[in-house]
Amino acid sequence: MSRTRLGLTLAALAALGLAGCGKEEPKPAPPAAPPAPPSMTVKIGHVAPLTGGIAHLGKDNENGAKLSIEQANAARIKIEGKEVKFELIAEDDQADPKVGTTVAQKLVDAKVVGVVGHLNSGTSIPASAIYSQAGIPMISGSATNPQFTEQGFKGVFRVVGRDDQQGPAIAGYLASENKPKLVAVIDDATAYGEGLANEVEKALKAAKVKVLPREKGDDKKTDWKAILTKLKGRKPDAVFYGGMDATGGPLVKQARELGIKTVFAFGDGACTDKMSELAGEAAEGLLCSQAGIPPKAADKKFLDAYRSKFNTDPILYSPFTFDSTNLLIEAMKKANSADPAKYLPELAKISYKGATGKIEFDDKGDRKDAEMTIFTMKGGKIEPLAIIKSGATIKYEDFIKAAAAEPAAPAPEAQKPQPAPEAAKK
């Protein structure tokens, strides 16, 4: 090979080498993103009056359910191997039975798998028939009329006591502590107010206390002067009112304005701090009952979480709606299914430590061994005096000491990973 040809060959090879050095190697394809874990949305309904005179109680109940849903979603619970997103579908029944049945059907159509509510007995009772027909379990954290669980529906539950427990509790306390000889009884003509007043009257008569003929108002009444003027002439030693705080506050305020100094007693619907707001100093010294433990006696973890989220204290039954929502979720976890037909048997036999204590249901769907609390208004605040449980009256301070010795309710836990199959381990 000549020197010239050799030079040309070497130059060509050098050019090829330079070209090869400048060529980029193909980049490997990025790894495929792992598939999203399977998930499912589970809808739970909540119903309470969110407008009207007792909207503050309805919102309180809704808050309890909201807090439960938030904690359950944070725990990333799995059902049927899928991560569940719980969704609360909240409805306003305006404390009206007709509206209550309308929103009940709305929740059925929305395909909720369970319902927390309603707040009032007057709306809970007719709505329960609609849920029962659709096979959807419901748990009320506040409906106290016995008829609610006496209808024979298998999917109806409550986590508070009944009026045939609450009535004797407040009547018995009134009779033993105040020793009235003559009592006037008034109700607001609702399923709740009339039902509770009936139980109070029955218990008073059994205690040999004379009861005047019943006086009636309604759940919108704020002018009680005609009824009170009639009662003033009869000089009762005590007055019991079956109704809510929106009407009970004006009742006691107008009584004091008319010079009626007798003790006034109320059920749970008027056993709130709002009575002081509505009646002012006239509310001081009233007696009232709640069909459960006081809100401030609920589990500390619940109270701390509630205050942190809503920047206020629970009013009345939000600890019970919190527990009601958790009970539905716990039953689904136990059944590994959100199908009401599959988790309902687990709900019926559940034993659960909630924010309001141990919860188990009897054959009717009522909470076993439910507590009752007696309160008085002191310094503008409802203060608990005694807890009535299993027929025994316990001083509130003693009840709290006993409860403090018990372990706290556990927070919701994330789903524990299932052990891998043997083949996967190898």
pLDDT value at 225 more than 60? yes
Q: Which amino acid is at 159?
A: V
Query: Is-contact 141 324, C-beta < 8 A?
Result: yes
Half-sphere exposure of 416 (CA within 13 A, CB side): 2
Residue 24, pLDDT score: 54
DSSP string across 264-331: EEE-GGG-STHHHHHHGGGGTT-EEEESSS-GGGS-HHHHHHHHHHHSS---SSHHHHHHHHHHHHHH
Residue 426, pLDDT score: 28
pTM above 0.85, yes or no: no
DSSP string across 104-153: HHHHHHTT-SEEEE-SSHHHHHHHHHHHHHHT--EEESS---GGGGSS--
Residue 408, pLDDT score: 52
% of the chain with per-residue pLDDT over 90: 83
pLDDT in tens, 254-312: 999 999 999 999 999 999 999 999 999 999 999 999 999 999 999 999 999 999 999 99
Q: Which amino acid is at 226?
A: A
CATH 3.40.50.2300 location in the chain: 39-160+295-368, 164-290
Query: Is-contact 313 103, C-beta < 8 A?
Result: no
Distance CA 191, CA 201 (A): 15
List the single range of 18-27, 99-108, 400-409 with lowest mean pLDDT.
18-27
**Using 50, 70 and 90 to split pLDDT, how confident is the model at 25?**
low
Query: Is-contact 145 163, C-beta < 8 A?
Result: yes
DSSP string across 223-271: --HHHHHHHHHH--SEEEEES-HHHHHHHHHHHHHTT--SEEEE-GGG-
State both tokens at 141.
């954290």
The torsion angles phi and psi of 136, rounded to 5 degrees, stand at -105, 120
Distance CA 174, CA 352 (A): 33
From 156, 107, 161, select the one nearest 328 (Cα to Cα): 156
Evaluate the omega torsion of the peptide bond into residue 118 and state whether it is cis, within 30 degrees of 0. Answer: yes
pLDDT value at 314 more than 70? yes
What are 88's strand-pairing partners? Answer: 44
Stretch 175-195: mean pLDDT, rounded?
96
Q: Which fold does the domain 39-160+295-368 belong to in CATH?
A: Rossmann fold (3.40.50)
pLDDT value at 356 more than 50? yes
pLDDT value at 219 more than 70? yes
Instruction: Find tokens 């990025």 and name the residue.
Output: 30
Residue 4, pLDDT score: 47
Residue 401, pLDDT score: 85
The torsion angles phi and psi of 420, rounded to 5 degrees, stand at -70, 150
Distance CA 286, CA 378 (A): 9
Residue 305, pLDDT score: 98
**Using 50, 70 and 90 to split pLDDT, how confident is the model at 391?**
confident
Residue 15, pLDDT score: 46
Residue 374, pLDDT score: 97
Distance CA 284, CA 195 (A): 26
List the single range of 110-119, 291-300, 340-349 with lowest mean pLDDT.
291-300
Query: Is-contact 288 375, C-beta < 8 A?
Result: yes
Distance CA 57, CA 309 (A): 17
Residue 16, pLDDT score: 45
pLDDT value at 415 more than 80? no
- Overall CATH class of domain 164-290: alpha beta
